[in-house]
Structure 1
Amino acid sequence: MDIAVVGAGSLGSLLGGMLAREHDVTLVGREPHVGTVQREGLDVVGVESFRVDPAARTDVPDSADLAIVAVKSGDTAAAADALADCALDACLSVQNGIGNEETLAASLSCPVLAGTCTYGARLDGPGRVDFTGRGEVVLGPRAGGESAIADEVGAAFRAAGVETTVAADMPTRLWEKLAVNAAVNATTALARVENGALADGPGRELAADAARETARVARKAGIDLSDDRAVSLTERVVRDTAANRSSMLQDVAAGRRTEIDAINGYVADRAAGRAPVNETLTRLIRLWEARD
């Protein structure tokens, strides 16, 4: 399969690197990372260590069988515009937040699949990505149900050694992921701690409160997500990724703008004043982002 990974940061580079063991992959990202990959290949180190030689460029190719979108949620519209002139059979979002798939679908004529990914990654310099934790990709039609293209993409991922589930309930899966992200990302970013710090004590309580608030907003949106389910999923991710640094913690450490508006901010905006934990976390991250 010919695959273009749009957003070759930490996660995009890891997924692209794993897929390049079996498929023709093009990483679309920024310099100096893509230039180093062009010249020297991509080194994956950590949980698994290997070297691959995907193509790499700063612009979207003219065609691909599949585009994997891994950009920050705030860059989704720009990615959709860039992909509009690319001949695609399918597009898969593995981004954080809700609504990215709809933004992509508005510009693309191909099927747009929804996806979640719990693999841990950290870009460790140009041409090098640190594989920090095993996980799973879950993908399927964005509105739910089954499709042949989702099955084909799932098979391609599994052939490259990516743990993958093709699911018929992606709307629920996306809200479950949002609950976990709302619980983990801002909390670890503000406290400057790894995910495992939320396994007990005040970190666990704060994360659980954020997850419960997200579940309540999900139910208001028609998604069957109980408070207990949201908390248990959060606890499992914290346990399984204890040594990982969340994507928002990585952003804060690097001085980059975060995805707070697509995670805790999304929950707070739809809770009509009934998500005080998510609202407080959002305000604190926005305060940090507004610094001089």
Structure 2
Amino acid sequence: MSLPCLIWADLRINRAASSPVGALEEQFQVRRVVERAAIPLNIDQATPLLSCFEYDYPDVPSLQALRSTKQAYPSLPILMLTLQHSEALAVWAFRTRVWDFLVQPVTAEQLSQRIAALLPVLPTRGQECREIAMPVPFIPRESRIGAPGLSMQAAQLAANYVEHHYSETLRLRDVAGSCQMDVCTFSRTFKRAFGLTFREYLCRFRLERSRELLANPRATVSEVACAVGMSNVSHFTRTFHQRMGITPTEYRRDATPQNTHKSLQ
């Protein structure tokens, strides 16, 4: 019995890096595609059961390739893998109706488990009409816990505000206003909930995001600084050095798994 086909669109910049695709070769006939323009042709020829799009740091053309594929083949489940850890990218992916979004590194076992959850809801071979296959989504673990107290709710609103606006100029009174609090009440509430002042929380959040962006070899230090809301590059470099013990340039140059897990001071 022949194996079902899987289209693996390898749209990484560094295709020499390891990929979990090899773990699927016992379950599928894997057809690897590296040119964006060749993806539709391969789908038409192979009639795959599903497709995986693998990125390291996706750019606009490579993301447009995924979106156009989903638009042209709406019933084809798409799994997206990327090194770029970004809430905005994840939101875009799910709005584009990808079946799952995974941030690398992903082990062969993790990838197989995700696909195994999808297989039972896919149409069997020989069906004339394919329905859009989407497994029943898991309820997030945090949603299974009772509602927090009012102070934590307000602090979480502020954390969500930071998540969506950290790249902008954030004024304390605007964040407090989004929680329907005055500045003094908000400051006390936030510190009670997180054990940090809001300014300290924001600084740490921005630096964590900057570490993720510095892993992208195409992004300059000044671009990273602006992307995380610290448009003064000198201030960004000085703050990064104070918290990390090295400059952003040194962090990028000496990046290792040990460095990327170094905690902020």
Q: Which entry has the higher C-alpha Rg, 1 or 2?
A: 2
TM-score, scaled to structure 2? 0.39
Higher-strand-fraction structure? 1
Higher-helix-fraction structure? 2
TM-score, scaled to structure 1? 0.36
